Amino acid sequence: MKKSIIFLIISLFFKLSGIAGEGMWIPMLLEQLNEKEMKAMGMNITAEDIYSINHSSLKDAIVLFGRGCTAEIISDKGLLLTNHHCGFGAIQRHSSIENDYLTDGFWAMNQDEELPNPGLTVTLMVRMEEVTNQVLEGVEPNMSEADRDEKIKENSDKIIEAFEKDSEYQAAIKPFFKGNAFYMIITETFKDVRLVGAPPSNIGKFGGDTDNWMWPRHTGDFSIFRIYTDKDGKPAEYSEDNIPYKPKYHFPISLKGVDEGDFTFVFGYPARTNEYLPSYAVEMITESGNPHKIKLRETRLDIFNKYASADPKVRIQYASKDARVANYWKKMIGESSGIERLDGIEKKQAYEAEFNEWANSSEELKKQYGNLIPAFETAYEQLEPISLATDYIAEAGLAMEIVSFARNFSGLVEMSKADEIDEEAIQQEIESLKRRTSGFFKDYYQPIDEEVMTAMLKLYDENLTPPFKPDFFNTIHSKYKNNYQDYTNYVFSKSIFDNEDALNELLDNYKPKKYKKLVKDPAYLMASEMMDFYDADIKTKRNLLNHELDSLQRIYMKAQMEMEPEKRFYPDANFTLRVTYGYVDGYHPKDAVYYKHFTTLEGIMEKEDPDIYDYVVEDRLKELYQNKDYGQYADEDGNMHVAFVASNHTTGGNSGSPVLNADGELVGVNFDRCWEGTMSDLMYDPEVCRNISIDIRYFLFIVDKFAGAGYLVEEMDLVK
Ligand code: ASP
């Protein structure tokens, strides 16, 4: 694929004009807002091909996977492709020391071997409709924020109820543009989703957390699932009699690869962005919240790693937890430094100065918007300590596993204290707690938790002033003279929440009056003191401020759109289906350095290190590499391409999203962003914001050549 001169010129034009890249667009508005630009950038299909309510379109092959990822359908038998890190929880749950699918990979060699995953669902968007006017009916401009919310909820419930009454589908209404617009999203949720294949971690997680959020990248971050339905093709709970889903559409897969300057688009479920925040908010996030959370997570990760590298069982137990903590730890580092490098706060301030000038340019505007920016300043000043206190509860308090686990027992305690005892409800609660208990201890290693507790208490105590700390710190100060270790020893020696047998024994023989034993337990006490403190001292203030900020945000959004009527605004991500588009493109991460747009198997061999878990390369992969046995999956340059970067504007939730070429064929699977660009959730910079995708040919190569699961490739439609 040689790019033409014209193409280069066009792409240069869009790059220079700063258009390419930024934006997460609403599928049903593409025709109106984006189609022309997408075509000018190289797209050969139409907006109607991407999203249509009249016939099958690309959107019919995209699902929200679980609660936080995207996946795409790649065969007429409901085969589903997503990231390894999205399937990680499911893969881990099927793994044990004997069947270590995390380490060794898993491949069902026929449909009977596919593994069910209770609780895992995928959701397909059937269509969307704008319902702003209906939702805002009866909402008055001078209403309090709480009344407004209530009215909106009341209207929304009515609309949803009316829709669902005559429909087999589900509906939800979501705010867009900070509550200035509303759309009803109509969906269908599938409940029988089975694991079909996953590469070993040294492919699916190659480079681990060292390479996470970084380019150049060599991770084969994919896993394969399959949707099953009942005999009529309708969503159903798991049953042996279920059949593979027959989708309305599935993606053809291109073997042509990508070249620098190629148009690509990503179609998926971005979770949350905040592109329209005032400078005060960006400052609070990047200069206060992030640094504290980074330190807390770093401390925890060091402890995890110390134990995990010494014991393979602990490594499996803590694999998911470690990945979760490490992921946003690194993201926050990238985000804060990205904003700094971009002078993000100063840029926002300059914009606000411009805004203020406009907002004060007439009496009419002044009345509506004149006080907006100062109001933001006051509100964020008040929010900062409250927000930090909340962060410490989540990131230090609940990081103590024994404490967050004990918190689950508060329901049982409440039921047991009630004037009228509901025996049946208590019995049900006990059953559910027993299941939780066994789940908790499967992945629990007490020495880690003890060390984490001592470390968390110390940081918590040192970094917050008294009004922002729960009561147990009084005990730590007075009785334990700030010796966090001693206090931890006391908690662990007295609590039963680190003892599976004792806990089961209590649950097996539970009588309501035994709740006294629970409420005296030191871990339970810590949990309840922390939650009481949150309820009494934090929650109300926080809600009040957030309400005020919601209202300010909404007005600010509307005002910005009014100030720049020619500008095409896109709504912040809100976990609804979006399209973003850009070019395959390398970038300059720092002075004098240029990163090319793709990586190859060669690079995997360069990174190989048999002594480091994340950089082990399997013999089978080496053999394929040595024999250049790439089959039809090699690039025309003869190499095996592994991953590529492009200027598509993505965020968390876009993981697993299809990356499509100008013809709408699958060329990659999105799985990450590069570190220099992770501030794109707050501010996008076309120079360095890049999404990272697996080259779809590497995925095919691993399935076919490495795993010998070529029968899966036969299900797919390959385009040469
Ligand atoms: N890795 C992210 C995800 O899981 C994607 C991103 O944040 O760019 O969705």
Does residue 260 sit in the same domain as residue 350?
A: no
Which atom of ligand 1 is the closest one to the Cα of 691?
8
How far apart CA 100 and CA 91 sit, in angstroms, is 9
Cα distances (angstroms) measured from residue 714 to each of 71, 79, 107, 700: 20, 12, 15, 11
Mean pLDDT of 711-715: 97
Q: Do 68 and 108 belong together in one domain?
A: yes
Q: Do 413 and 515 meet the contact criterion of CB atoms below 8 Å apart? A: yes
Radius of gyration of the chain (CA): 27
Distances from the Cα of 616 to the Cα of 57, 203, 208, 527, angstroms: 41, 9, 11, 41
> Does 317 reside within a domain?
yes
Structure tokens at 74: 């790649």
Q: Answer whether residue 571 is part of any domain.
A: no
In this predicted structure, what is the pLDDT of residue 528? 97
Q: Collapsing DSSP states into helix, strand and coil, what is residue 673?
A: strand
* Residue 226 and residue 244 in contact, taking contact as beta carbons nearer than 8 Å: yes
| pLDDT at residue 16 in the model | 47
Q: pLDDT per residue over 468-521, tens digit each?
A: 999 999 999 999 999 999 999 999 999 999 999 999 999 999 999 999 999 999
Closest C-alpha to 578, from 9, 14, 5, 24: 24
- C-alpha–C-alpha distance, residues 396 and 298, integer Å: 11
Q: Is 237 helix (H, G, I), strand (E, B) or coil?
A: coil
259 is catalytic: no
Mark which of 168, 189, 210 sits at the end of a domain.
Answer: 189
Q: How far is the CA of 657 from the centre of ligand 1 (A)?
A: 10
How many domains, the chain? 3
Tokens found for residue 629: 């046995």
Q: Cα of 370 to ligand 1 centre, how many Å?
A: 38
For CA atoms 289, 294, 297, 303, give the dihedral sign. Answer: negative
Distance 650 CA to ligand 1 centre (A): 8
Give me the DSSP letters along 178-201. GGTEEEEEEEEEE-EEEEEEE--H
With the most atoms of ligand 1 within 8 angstroms of its CB, the residue from 64, 222, 272, 650 to mutate is: 650
Structure confidence at residue 15 (pLDDT): 52
Is 223 tagged catalytic?
A: no
Instruction: Identify the pLDDT of residue 104.
Output: 95
Q: How many CB atoms lie within 10 A of CB 5?
A: 7
Identify the H or E element spanning 89: helix 84-93
Residue 567 is assigned to a structural domain of this protein: no
Same domain, 435 and 332: yes
Which protein residues are within 6 Å of ligand 1, measured from CB? 650-655, 671-673
Mean pLDDT of the chain: 95
Task: Name the strand (E) or helix (H) holding 701.
Answer: helix 696-701
What CATH number should be reported for the domain holding residue 662? 2.40.10.120
At 477, phi and psi to the nearest 5? -75, -50
* Tens digits of residue pLDDT in 32-82: 999 999 999 999 999 999 999 999 999 999 999 998 999 999 999 999 999
User: Does residue 457 share a domain with residue 359?
Assistant: yes
d(Cα 150, Cα 143) in Å, to the nearest integer? Answer: 11
Which residue type, as a one-letter code, is found at position 265?
F
d(CA 148, CA 136): 9
pLDDT tens readout for residues 390-424:
999 999 999 999 999 999 999 999 999 999 999 99
Report if residue 569 sits inside a domain: no
pLDDT of residue 18: 47
Under 8 Å between Cβ of 450 and 290: no
Cis peptide preceding 252, ω within 30 of 0:
no
CA distance 22 to 16: 13
The number of the ligand 1 atom at minimal distance from the alpha carbon of 271 is: 9
Backbone dihedral angles phi then psi of residue 648, each to the nearest 5 degrees: -85, 140
Of the residues 221, 521, 685, 704, which is catalytic? 221
Pocket test for ligand 1, best of 267, 269, 670, 679 (most atoms within 8 A of CB): 670
Residue nearest to atom 2 of ligand 1 (CA): 652
**Element holding 82 (H helix, E strand):** strand 79-82
Model confidence over 264-274: pLDDT tens digits?
999 999 999 99
Q: How far is the CA of 327 from the centre of ligand 1 (A)?
A: 9
Determine contact, residues 652/270, Cβ cutoff 8 Å.
yes
Confidence class for position 9, pLDDT limits 50, 70, 90: low
Distance from the Cα of residue 414 to its chain's centroid: 33
Claim to verify: residue 133 and residue 217 sit in the same structural domain: no
Q: Are residues 180 and 200 in the same domain?
A: no
- In a shared domain, residues 547 and 581: no
- Considering the candidates 11, 57, 75, 85, report the single residue annotated as catalytic: 85
Q: Examine the domain organization and report whether 534 and 645 are in the same domain.
A: no
Position 7 scores a pLDDT of: 52
Q: Judge if 139 and 150 occupy the same domain.
A: yes
Structural domain includes residue 170: yes
Q: pLDDT band at residue 12, thresholds of 50, 70 and 90?
A: low
Give the pLDDT band of residue 19 (cuts 50, 70, 90): low
Instruction: State the residue range of the domain holding 170.
Output: 124-189
Phi and psi at 346, nearest 5°, equal -65, -40
Catalytic residue among 52, 655, 680, 693, which? 655
For ligand 1, atom 4, name the residue with the nearest CA: 655
Q: Among 502, 500, 406, 490, which residue's Cα sits nearest to residue 450?
A: 490
pLDDT at site 2: 44
d(CA 322, CA 293) in angstroms, rounded, equals 15
> What single letter denotes the amino acid at residue 587?
Y
- Asked if residue 614 and residue 594 are part of one domain, the reply reads yes
> Do residues 580 and 648 touch, judged by C-beta distance below 8 A?
yes
Same domain, 625 and 477: no
Q: List for the chain the helix, strand, coil content (%; round to 5).
A: 50, 15, 35
Q: Write down which residue in 189, 206, 233 finishes a domain.
A: 189
Across 433-439, average pLDDT? 95
Residue 134 domain-assigned? yes
Flag whether pLDDT at 277 surpasses 80: yes
Per-residue confidence (pLDDT) for residue 5, from 0 to 100: 59
Which residues touch 1 (CB under 8 Å, ≥6 apart)?
256, 257, 258, 259, 262, 636
Evaluate if residue 384 carries a pLDDT over 60. yes
Phi-psi region of 177 (alpha: psi -120 to 50; beta: other; left: phi over 0): left
Kindly give the number of the ligand 1 atom that is closest to the alpha carbon of 671. 1
Q: Do 553 and 604 have their domain in common? A: no
DSSP 3-state assignment of 80? Answer: strand
pTM, rounded to two decimals? 0.92
Is residue 570 domain-resident?
A: no
Answer yes or no: 655 catalytic. Answer: yes
Is residue 566 assigned to a domain?
no
**Ligand 1 center–CA 691 separation, angstroms:** 9
Question: Residue 39 corresponds to which amino acid?
Answer: K
Instruction: Give percent of the chain with pLDDT exceeding 70.
Output: 97
Question: Among 189, 222, 242, which residue terminates a domain?
Answer: 189
**Which atom of ligand 1 sits closest to the CA of residue 70?**
9
